[in-house]
Chain A
Amino acid sequence: MSTKTKKINTGRDLKDKTEDLIKGAEDKIVISLCSGTGCKAAGSDDVFKTLEKEVKKCQPGMDQEIVLRRTGCHGFCERGPLIIFYPHEICYLGAGEEDIAEIVSETLGGKTVERLLYKTDDDKLVKKEFDIPFYKYQKRVLLENNSKIDSKSIDDYILFGGYRGLSKALCEMDPEKVIKEVKDSGLRGRGGGGFPTGLKWELTRKEAAGPKHMIVNADEGDPGAYMDRSILEGSPHSVMEGLIIAAYAIGASKGYIYVRQEYPLAVENIKEAIKKAKEYGFLGKNILDSGFDFEIEVYQGAGAFVCGEETALIRSIEGKRGMPKPKPPFPANEGLFGKPTCINNVETYANVPQIINKGAKAYASVGTDTSKGTKIFALTGAINNSGLVEVPMGMSLRDIVFKIGGGIKDGKKFKAVQLGGPSGGCIPEKHLDVVVDYEKVKEVGAMMGSGGMIVLDEDQCMVDIARFFMDFIQDESCGQCTPCRVGTRRMLEILTRITEGKGEEGDIEKLEEMAHMIKETSLCGLGKTAPNPVLSTIRYFRNEYEEHIETKKSCKRLHKKAKKKKVDK
């Protein structure tokens, strides 16, 4: 597939290119192998080498050309490595090197290798990827490309409709119209805050000072969340397309993608994507003959959770300690290098191309009154099907945990789901019917957050979970304001004391008092939300705190593990 690089100068050029690619892809068999972080750890690199060899062996006898693609994360990390054969979408789970020869020859011969297919609880075999319950109840829009395209290939992205949104925005719409479309779509920030994206763009556009800057916040620091990682690794162009559209709408000439240090593959793929986009003319001067110029630079974090806070992130790009600043002024008024700056999360940008493509109305038809579109969650913990899931806003947590996640591991009992990371809270069984919606989730004491969803079973001590998050926050507090620096340390001391069986009467009240004080007086979002995990566990599991304090027992002594009730396979 060595199509010569030809610059795409106009919308017409893109259309021709897309048509050529579609024609070229006809009648081909595509084997897609997941090469996300999870599948890599499960041996997908070696599987790829064997696949290459086997395909070379089989190809001469075949009428159809076979294309091998190493893709981003397919989501079903629990059962990796994942291999899918298109066009029939036959999906193999957990294949090792030793299985490849058989898989290739059997599948190309029109059969399947049954032992590597998904098996339902009642022993039925499932051949197609989207018939597997884990995928069936999802609505994969942002993640759709992840299992289909080679994450390093811009042609694959264009083949599946990539850069059409950019072409439409730049060639057919003026900046105000783009902003109006995004406002009408109801898109809200996916990093956790839920601020209306279109409004943010409008505020930045209205600022007179220049040059303006764009930032992609890819400092995905919430423990238990890897949605942004998977989008950047699997479909980097979708984030870039969204970013370029946003820059056009706002009138910015330079963009920064701030990726956390822990994600080397994301950095590699996004750098490759930038290089290709430049060659094709989607970046640089006079993009698609619109007169609009834009450049992107990748910036790597150095390991600080607080840099996910926008003002801290900006300081980090400026080469300083990443410490948040009081707001106002907001970045839209005075951001990077003192200039108006628009900063959005990875997933937010990835939503933009489809809004422009399909229109605001179609986009807003999915979701609830106040939360539109889909949301990606990292569904992990004590659950049968761990992985990355994308669901329409408005789906209940119960459906996510039991229908998609397949329920609790080892037949144990569900206890809670932790949503929103260190800023969020634990949702107990009685509120499990709450739907995915910024406001509804808040009502039950959690927070949408960036999308970490950790399922906890009956063995989990809830005081210990609160202690875990407080320990995290304590470690990551930047230390400039006293409530956060000292307050979280005092709270951690009390929580540790309780989990060690040394709790005292009045500890719960002390925790509550301090929690409210820290919430009200901290400088930035990190401190303001830091007590949430403690407050939500006290709200729903106060009895566990009391039991620890009354019996003076430590976690280990208080919580004897429940027996495995069902050993699968």
Chain B
Amino acid sequence: MGVIDLPKYELTKEENIKVENIISKFTGIKNALIPVLQEIQDDVGFLPLNVQRKVAEGLGVPEKDVYGVVTFYSFFTMIPRGKYNIRVCMGTACFVKGGKQIAENISKGLQIEPGQTTPDRNFSLEVNRCVGACGIAPVIIINDKVYKKVNPDTVMDIVNSLE
């Protein structure tokens, strides 16, 4: 840490068109910055600096404000997520039932830290805030599917079964 080192990602042509379409939908609308970023994050999967620049120009917002918002909220990321985005819930109920061990085991199994993506862009790992599924803790969420009462010892079986 210390020096900010941001990986550079180039968008594909298609992704660029998507981004431009989203921005143009919101041009002229007040307070649209967060909704625009949310839509791009949803569609493209991440918000690299060149996209942030486009958003700033399109909405007439200073670039520093866009960067400020992107880095403030945890939903936004500047690193592309994997085909399978694995989120480990770290709410209190999941924590006391082994959430920490689950995250550690996936981290070891995939050889990535939380917040990172595997080099083949197949998997990314996130340690999430409470997802509100405390009654069936501990949970992990892969893309949109919730897995309940996950066992730390066998969690890698779930991950391995995805491919």
Contact = CB atoms under 8 A, between A and B. Distances in A.
Interface in B132-161: 132-137, 139, 144, 146-148
A42 B147 CA distance: 8
A386 B97 CA distance: 12
B146 A37 contact: yes
A331 B146 CA distance: 37
Interface stretch (A201-209, A223-231, A243-251, A355-363): A223-231
A262 B144 CA distance: 11
A40 B35 CA distance: 28
B73 A303 contact: yes
A165 interface: no
Interface string A402-426: 0000000000000000100100000
B92 interface: yes
B34 A37 contact: no
B132 A321 contact: no
B80 to A, nearest CB: 17
A226 B32 contact: no
Given A38-B135, A80-B136, A224 B73 contact: no
B72 A321 contact: yes
Contacts of B137: 380-381, 386
B129 A224 contact: no
Interface in B46-79: 65, 68-69, 72-76
Contacts of A380: 92-93, 134-135, 137
Contact of B92 (A220, A301, A454): A454
Given A316-B34, A319-B32, A305 B129 contact: yes
Interface in A156-190: none
Contact of B73 (A42, A264, A302): A302
Given A41-B148, A223-B90, A381-B92, A386 B132 contact: no
B75 A226 contact: no
Interface string A468-486: 1100100010100000000
B34 A226 contact: no
A304 interface: yes
Contacts of A316: 34
Nearest to B91: A223
B136 A262 contact: no
B136 A42 contact: yes
Interface string A7-44: 00000000000000000000000000000011011100
B84 interface: no
Contacts of B144: 264
Contact of B130 (A38, A221, A418): A221
Interface string A291-305: 000000000111111
A99 B53 CA distance: 55
Contacts of A452: 92, 134
B38 interface: yes
Interface in A68-85: 77-78, 80
B135 A78 contact: yes
Contacts of B65: 320
A304 B72 contact: yes
A322 B35 CA distance: 14
A262 B134 contact: no
B96 A456 contact: yes
A220 B130 CA distance: 9
Contacts of B34: 302, 316, 319
Contacts of B130: 221-226, 262
A421 B91 CA distance: 10
B128 interface: yes
A55 interface: no
A38 B136 contact: yes
Contacts of A387: 135
Given A42-B148, A304-B73, A386 B136 contact: yes
B129 A454 contact: no
A283 interface: no
Q: Which of the listed residues A42, A226, A263, A316 has the most CB atoms from chain B within 10 Å of its own CB? A: A226
Contacts of A317: 31
Given A225-B132, A316-B34, A302 B75 contact: yes
B136 A460 contact: no
Interface string B86-106: 000011110111000000000
Interface core residue of B35, B74, B139, B146 (most chain A CB under 10 Å):
B74
A320 B34 CA distance: 8
B37 interface: yes
B92 A319 contact: no
Nearest to B69: A321
Interface string A301-324: 111110000000000111111100
Tell which of B76, B97, B139 has the most Cβ of chain A within 10 Å.
B97
Nearest to A266: B132
Contact of A320 (B35, B37, B69): B69
Interface in A472-529: 472, 476, 478
B131 interface: yes
B125 interface: no
B19 interface: no
B148 to A, nearest CB: 4
A382 interface: yes
Contact of B129 (A37, A38, A221): A221
Interface in A314-363: 316-322
A390 to B, nearest CB: 14
Contacts of A229: 132
B33 interface: yes
- Chain A CB within 10 A, most for which of B90, B92, B131: B92
A538 interface: no
Contact of B91 (A80, A224, A322): A224
Given A41-B147, A221-B130, A223-B90, A303 B136 contact: no
Contacts of A382: 96-97
A418 B92 CA distance: 9
Interface of B: 31-35, 37-38, 65, 68-69, 72-76, 90-93, 95-97, 128-137, 139, 144, 146-148
Closest 4 CB pairs of A and B: A77-B135, A226-B132, A302-B73, A224-B92
7 contacts: A264-B144, A380-B134, A386-B93, A386-B134, A386-B136, A418-B92, A454-B96
Given A77-B133, A223-B92, A303-B73, 5 more contacts: A226-B130, A262-B130, A322-B72, A380-B137, A381-B137
